[in-house]
């Protein structure tokens, strides 16, 4: 794919709320939350989640939001998301050396909170972005939203020659579901995996030493499996549906999509020395590793992010990329992969300048 211009990741910033150990979350809250016929099953799922610590803007160890109305949860989202988002955006702008009023486009991805004016308007106001700033809010795409967001921002930079900013901010902790002794496995898995975070990326049209140019973007959606992953708005927050068949569906599609992305750029899997794969769970990473024929250490950054931060939905793949680029010897060529409702697979090819 030949761009009119070039879009380079010139700065990244992350922000995390307070963290807690998975064992402490189990013992201090979830063991009682599942005190019934599902307790033993829930304990095993928590222990095998691949998560060691994770973050919560609204920790169940301090506040039980499971009985809150959706309205109350949305009001709290604005209170908690704004400072987290400001921190991530501020760090990304500082690293990129870009002033807020120089931005031409601001893309915000979030599936865990909605209000108008939203994060895009309030942050633009509070951080001194220009009145002529173009804004785009991407909602309810879920875990893969960072990659279409990144692709859209990169297209703007390449076509217009102006900097753009991407922000992914998620507060999954606000969507804790009520106690149910018959709770289905999907809810238990969601409660064992999901976490809160914000991550921001600044893209510029000029080459930055060590920056990653966005070379290509790929997508594939299998709508025959649309019911395998859901995120329903209920009177008690948003409820996750997560079929155990997701890894199987992913195993069918991930290799063909990656091969297509690389082939049209004259590359093979062997030419890629960095993999930023969304850690939706241990089985997801196992499937990607197996289907792409990767060495175990290729998935190490994704597994470490899952262990240290949990599944933070849309910011998570950016956390993995941030870990890769901070290595003493950063990879030259990176493929980012993320998966979510649809079922949808997204891939982005990055090349280091």
Q: Which residues are catalytic?
A: 143
Cα angle for residues 190, 73, 65 (degrees, 5° grid): 60
Q: Kindly give, in sequence order, each residue whose CB lies less than 8 Å from that of residue 66, ignoring residues fewer than 6 positions away.
A: 33, 60, 176, 177, 178, 179, 236
d(CA 240, CA 140): 12
Q: Are 284 and 25 in contact (CB under 8 A)?
A: no
d(CA 166, CA 201): 5
Using only C-alpha atoms, what is the Rg of the chain?
Answer: 19
- Structure-token match 């395998």, residue found: 228
Question: Under DSSP, is residue 84 helix (H, G, I), strand (E, B) or coil?
Answer: helix
Q: Are 311 and 194 in contact (CB under 8 A)?
A: yes
The tokens for 229 are 């992953």
Q: Kindly give, in sequence order, each residue whose CB lies less than 8 Å from that of residue 282, ignoring residues fewer than 6 positions away.
A: 48, 49, 50, 303, 306
d(CA 235, CA 256): 40
d(CA 13, CA 88): 5
d(CA 306, CA 312): 9
- Structure-token match 């931060």, residue found: 309
Q: Are 38 and 181 in contact (CB under 8 A)?
A: yes
Q: Are 133 and 162 in contact (CB under 8 A)?
A: no
d(CA 20, CA 49): 15
């Amino acid at each position: 794919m030949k761009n009119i211009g070039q879009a380079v990741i010139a700065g990244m910033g992350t922000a995390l709320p307070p963290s807690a150990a998975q064992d402490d979350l189990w013992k201090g809250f979830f063991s009682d939350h599942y005190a019934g016929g599902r307790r033993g099953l829930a304990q095993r799922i928590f222990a095998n989640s691949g998560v060691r610590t994770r973050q919560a803007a609204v920790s169940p160890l301090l506040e039980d939001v499971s009985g809150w109305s959706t309205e109350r949860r949305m009001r709290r989202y604005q209170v908690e998301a704004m400072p987290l988002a400001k921190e991530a955006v501020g760090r990304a702008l500082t690293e990129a050396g870009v002033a807020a009023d120089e931005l031409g486009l601001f893309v915000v991805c979030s599936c865990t909170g909605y209000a108008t004016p939203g994060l895009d308007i309030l942050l633009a106001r509070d951080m001194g972005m220009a009145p002529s700033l173009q804004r785009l809010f991407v909602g309810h795409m879920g875990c893969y939203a960072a990659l279409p967001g990144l692709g859209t921002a990169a297209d703007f930079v390449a076509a217009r020659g102006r900097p753009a900013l991407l922000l992914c901010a998620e507060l999954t902790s606000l969507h804790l579901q009520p106690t149910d002794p018959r709770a289905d496995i999907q809810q238990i898995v969601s409660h064992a995996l999901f976490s809160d975070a914000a991550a921001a990326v600044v893209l510029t049209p000029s080459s930055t030493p060590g920056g990653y140019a966005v070379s290509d973007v790929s997508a594939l959606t299998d709508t025959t499996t649309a019911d395998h992953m859901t995120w329903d708005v209920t009177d008690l927050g948003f409820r996750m549906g997560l079929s155990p068949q997701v890894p199987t569906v992913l195993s069918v599609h991930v290799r063909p999509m990656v091969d297509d992305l690389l082939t049209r750029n004259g590359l093979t899997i062997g030419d890629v020395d960095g993999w930023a794969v969304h850690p939706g769970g241990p089985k997801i990473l196992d499937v990607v590793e197996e289907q792409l024929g990767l060495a175990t250490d290729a998935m190490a950054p994704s597994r470490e992010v899952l262990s240290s931060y949990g599944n933070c939905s849309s910011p998570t793949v950016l956390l993995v990329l941030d870990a890769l680029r901070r290595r003493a010897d950063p990879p030259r060529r990176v493929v980012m992969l993320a998966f979510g409702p649809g079922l949808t697979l997204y891939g982005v090819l990055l090349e280091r300048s």
